[in-house]
Amino acid sequence: MAIQPIRLFGDPILRKPAREVVDFDRELRKLVEDLTDTMLAAPGAGLAAPQLGVGLRAFTWHVDGEVGHLINPTLELSEEMQEGLEGCLSIPELSIECRRALSVVARGFDMYGEPVTIHGSDLLARAIQHETDHLDGVLFIDRLDTDARKQAMRMIRESEWFGLERPTVKVSPHPMRGLGL
């Protein structure tokens, strides 16, 4: 098991767009394993590579007992919308109503480079949209209306974890090609 520290709100990597995965190698499979183990231990409904400090377009999800991952996702969103509570492992103890598309068709690749298409609605659609946002440097609080965002920011500033030091980052002995922070 390879549980990693999750980057918290305020860490610059959470605001940086991630790069496309080009190498579907052992290192990527290890990243997917680390994402999955960390997400399940947290526990959470999803986790994106930037949340572990890796600037690659990869994420995992755990919804309704299904665990999966997607690399280099592209999304087709329904016009029908849903409102629902949303939280984030990088913003602990905060859940707030957020508007998302009700359903999604997500296309990308698995960790071996095979094409994958995921059809999701309700919570799975929310998780896929949330994690894809992370890959673009977008946090769910960015999607809130002004009043809700002010409330969320107030709650973040008052939280026990806000302003804590970021986790110690170990430098990989393997070439990261500028993707690890």
Q: What is the mean pLDDT of each run of 10 residues along the chain (181 residues)?
A: 88 95 95 96 95 96 95 97 94 93 97 97 96 96 92 90 59 52 45
Looking at residue 1, its pLDDT comes to 53
Query: Which pTM does this prediction carry?
Result: 0.87
Give tens-digit pLDDT for 105-125: 999 999 999 999 999 999 999
Q: State the catalytic residues.
A: 131
**Domains of the chain with bracketed CATH:** 12-158 (3.90.45.10)
| pLDDT (0 to 100) of residue 177 | 52
Q: What is the DSSP string of the chain?
A: ----PPPPTT-GGGGSPPBPP---SHHHHHHHHHHHHHHHHTT-SEEEGGGGTB-BSEEEEEETTEEEEEEEEEEEE-SSEEEEEEEETTEEEEEEEEEEESEEEEEEE-TTS-EEEEEEEHHHHHHHHHHHHHHTT--GGGGS-HHHHHHHHHHHHHSSSTTPPPPPPPPPSS--TT-B-
pLDDT tens readout for residues 12-35:
999 999 999 999 999 999 999 999
